[in-house]
Chain A
Amino acid sequence: MRFFMVLFSTALLSVVPALAQDAGATRADWPHYGGSPYSWRYSALDQINTSNVKSLTPACMFQTGDYAENLQATPIVVDGVMYLITAQAHVFALDAATGREIWNYRYPPVPRSIPGFIGNRGVAVGDGKVFFGTKDDYMVALDQKTGRLAWKVNIDDARQCGCNITAAPMVVKDKVIVGGTGGDGAHRGYITAFNTRTGRLAWRWYVVPAPGEKGNETWKGDSWRFGGGSPWLTGSYDPALNLLYWGTGNAAADFYDTERVVAGADKSKDVNLYTASVVALDPDTGKLRWHYQEVPDDIWDYDSSYEVVLLDRQMRGRMRQALLHMNKSGLTFVLDRATGEYLGSFSVPEVRNWMAGVTEDGKLVGRNEPAMGKTTSICPSAAGAKSWNSTAYSPRTGFLYVPVNEMCADITPNDHPADEGKNYMNGDFPFKLPPGRTTYSHVDAWDPVTGKRAWSMPYKYVLLASMLATAGDLVFTGNPEGDFFALDATSGNKLWSYQTGAGHRGSAVSYSVNGKQYIATPTGWHSSVVGALAQSLFPDQDWRLGSTLVVFALPEGSR
């Protein structure tokens, strides 16, 4: 028996850890939105580390000149070239070591009549092309070497659907895959895949199933037509399992469920599939392989569209191919990524009243639902215990690094009828700060296996930039005041900070050129939606806007 066990674990070691533990980290390049397709936002580079980070200084800066809604993108770095996109889809290829522009492409200005928010969270690079989505719902492919337009294809009529593309697309094999916004309007969300070479449609997967499809029975009447669920961020991919993972958005209407939930529905089971879920799709066909709904009948606007972190860890007695997935509520699910089996969960906000807890098999208990005719104070707010900015995972510490905000909202539902493409939140939800606190956010380190918080570094205002973890045992992020800083990944102690001059709402990356490690961060805050909602809570603050990429490195001779 013992012999068998040894054999068994050896076999596992030779297959499983070789996949995620190696493939989850980035090295010289930063090839994907989440770093690797496992979405760790972790660099295996350790030239910059806890002992020398105090010497980190700017190596170059790049000012994009596009100050509309600032800089939110994750830069992509391939072979020493950085690909950066601004909110209005000005795309730049830069020498990643010097910031010198190699080419630029300006997407034509989108007409003022197109509804939606300006913003772009990144490009994808693959098959010799640079891909991005636009406010008017085009998927665009540029030649990677020249920036010349290769193809573009429309995925929807933004004037009708009220939806846009703000997420970075993702390249998987010969396809480029993208999600869209619109789930706060009367819209039916989807993920669409195109052939990278030709731009031709490969498949589309609707979050909300049509009549005759499994899951449609979880919708009342015709409500599925405008059921929301828009998967408005970027997925992850496991090449060994050949599964694509994506988080889906809230059900619509957001705060009023009478029109969409079958009377007497059992909310300990799936309701309004496949909203507020993590789904595993076959990337070749777009067919659903499994799903896990995190918030059945989401009535708090708790999108689950956030990043899916793929990792292999010892859990419940054996090595698991797992995934971590946090939704807006801050409730973070640990699932078997081959099967969708529930392995555990933990909740990151300190102030929480939307539910009382989670059962051993992952069911929500003590739901505190907003109701018509009254105002209900709900924590965390619809801005999220975490916003769309990503977590990071370090295989060295085993911690998930999370920027957590402590905000609440007073939700007053209404019952406006659905009107295609128009706002369908059906509720007012002004934000407020929870009483009795002096700090309203924190960077946390969570152990996903034990579900325990290892450390927490509090911050006075809000944290809305992504985390970056490195093998130098550093965790980087920025705050709205403009400070970009490094924490000790083991203790959370602040080791270094640099005032970049404008607030942080983007995603920092690390890469190397000719053996030299760089840390690059977008700066410029973000003046609408959650950024502005949060800022309105701190009226004495005037967080500065901008649109500049700042690249840091160690000075020559200090390595």
Chain B
Amino acid sequence: MSNQPRWMAAAIALAVSCQAQNVANVVKQGEAVFSKTCATGYCHGVRGGPSGAPRLAARGFNQAYIDKVVRNGVPDTGMVSFTTRLSPPDLVAVIAYVTTLNGIANPDVSMEGRGDAVSNRPTLTGEAARGARLFSEAVRSFARCSTCHEVSGFGIPVAAPMAKVPKSAAELKALTTPDVKTGAIGGETMPVLVLSQGKQGAVFYDLTSAPPVQRNAEPGAVKFTDGSNWRHSSVIGAYNDSELAAILDYLRAVIKP
């Protein structure tokens, strides 16, 4: 139990309180979630009416079916999986609400057994929360960590998953990157991160500028040599030391060795 994420304890506690509470409160919460997340004009209609996506009210759907669709989405349509888009309580609430739209007055609002598919983003506070924002801050365009790193389900996995987190901003700036090599292709050299190399050719990231470009080269067209003049410190320059420290706090909170 000790390795369960914090949300699960919170979810179980909330489940107990939900059961004790009036189902109507959960359904009301679900209506608010539905109004904000589902009845968004181009998708479902208000109160499950017809709109860009199919009508949901009075369709004879049972709760198990609604639960499945909300969690898994519908292939090849705009209906995505909402398991990572909504918090577990909101997920349960919106499923309960849509269930009531189908004439079932007392939907199951318990949270038990629903811990299999939820957001892997833990609740963060303080500097770690600030670091999480900085890590993927949109206003920084490509000069943000998430251009090359995927953490907690956000960001682009150019670099391999982080195994350990540097202790300080100074250590982060001094980070060595032995995986980065020098690629020579068509008379041009560039810092590269090699993904694969074989009879089919080579697949590598060109790190010359951000964002990195994944390139596919014909067999024998590219030569890789160890070492590179590329430095991690050159791509984190848009962050100051305080910001880097906050980002490290975030990473320590979510990356367990």
Contact = CB atoms under 8 A, between A and B. Distances in A.
B155 interface: yes
Nearest to B39: A428
Interface of A: 67-69, 88, 112-118, 148-155, 157, 159-161, 184, 187-188, 198-201, 204, 210, 225, 382, 414, 416, 420, 422-423, 425, 427-430, 527-530, 532-533, 536
Contact of A530 (B52, B147, B155): B52
13 contacts: A149-B216, A151-B215, A151-B216, A154-B147, A154-B211, A159-B84, A225-B138, A425-B40, A429-B41, A430-B45, A529-B42, A530-B52, A533-B52
Contact of A199 (B77, B80, B213): B213
Contacts of B76: 67-69, 88, 118
Interface in B176-215: 206, 208-215
B136 interface: yes
Interface in B132-162: 136, 138-139, 141-142, 146-147, 153-156
Q: Would you list the 8 A-B pairs with minimal beta carbon distance, nearest first?
A: A68-B76, A199-B213, A423-B40, A536-B50, A117-B78, A153-B213, A112-B81, A151-B215
A34 to B, nearest CB: 25
A152 B213 contact: yes
B102 interface: no
Nearest to A419: B36
A425 B42 CA distance: 10
Most buried by A among B36, B75, B154: B36
A427 B41 contact: yes
Most buried by A among B75, B80, B142: B80
A199 B153 contact: no
B166 interface: no
Interface string B41-54: 11101100111111
B114 interface: no
Nearest to B84: A113
Given A67-B76, A151-B213, A416 B42 contact: no
Contact of A114 (B39, B42, B80, B83): B80
A201 B207 CA distance: 11
Contacts of B210: 201
B82 to A, nearest CB: 9
B36 to A, nearest CB: 5
B36 A416 contact: yes
Interface residues of B, number: 49
Contacts of B46: 428, 430
A115 B41 contact: no
A128 to B, nearest CB: 14
Nearest to B146: A157
B204 to A, nearest CB: 10
A528 B52 contact: yes
A539 B209 CA distance: 53
A422 B90 CA distance: 15
A529 B72 CA distance: 20
B142 A201 contact: yes
Contacts of B223: none
Contacts of A68: 75-77
B209 A200 contact: yes
Contacts of B208: 198, 200
Nearest to A110: B80
B77 A423 contact: no
B215 A155 contact: no
A502 to B, nearest CB: 16
Contact of A532 (B52, B138, B215): B52
Most buried by B among A112, A114, A151: A112
Nearest to B148: A154
Given A160-B136, A160-B138, A423-B41, 19 more contacts: A113-B85, A115-B85, A150-B216, A151-B215, A153-B211, A154-B156, A157-B146, A157-B154, A157-B156, A198-B213, A200-B208, A200-B213, A382-B41, A414-B35, A422-B37, A423-B37, A430-B46, A527-B77, A530-B52
Grouping DSSP codes into helix (H, G, I), strand (E, B) and loop, the A interface class, with mixed when no group exceeds half, is loop
Contacts of B53: 528, 532
Contacts of A527: 77
Contacts of B80: 112-116
Contact of A116 (B50, B78, B146, B213): B78
B112 to A, nearest CB: 24
Given A157-B154, A157-B155, A150 B215 contact: yes
Contacts of B41: 184, 382, 423, 425, 427-429
B148 to A, nearest CB: 10
Nearest to A114: B80
Contacts of B141: 204
A373 to B, nearest CB: 16
Given A151-B213, A151-B215, A430-B45, A118 B206 contact: no
Contacts of A430: 45-46, 49, 51
Given A113-B81, A423-B36, A430-B49, A198 B206 contact: yes
Contact of A533 (B51, B55, B73, B142): B51
Contacts of B84: 113, 159
Contacts of A148: 216
Contacts of B139: 188, 210, 225
Contact of A528 (B39, B49, B78): B78
Given A157-B146, A423-B36, A533 B155 contact: no
A210 B41 CA distance: 29
Contact of A151 (B43, B75, B214): B214
Contacts of A425: 40-42
Contacts of B45: 428, 430
Contact of A184 (B42, B78, B81, B147): B42
Contacts of A199: 206, 213-215
Nearest to B42: A529
A116 B41 CA distance: 14
A288 B72 CA distance: 43
Given A151-B213, A152-B213, A118 B138 contact: no
Given A528-B53, A536-B50, A420 B40 contact: no
Contacts of A198: 206, 208, 213, 215
A153 B214 contact: yes
A151 to B, nearest CB: 5
A527 B54 CA distance: 10
A160 B40 contact: no
A532 B139 CA distance: 34
A68 B77 CA distance: 7
Nearest to A382: B41
B153 A159 contact: yes
A135 B233 CA distance: 32
Contacts of B52: 528-530, 532-533
A201 B215 contact: no
A68 to B, nearest CB: 3
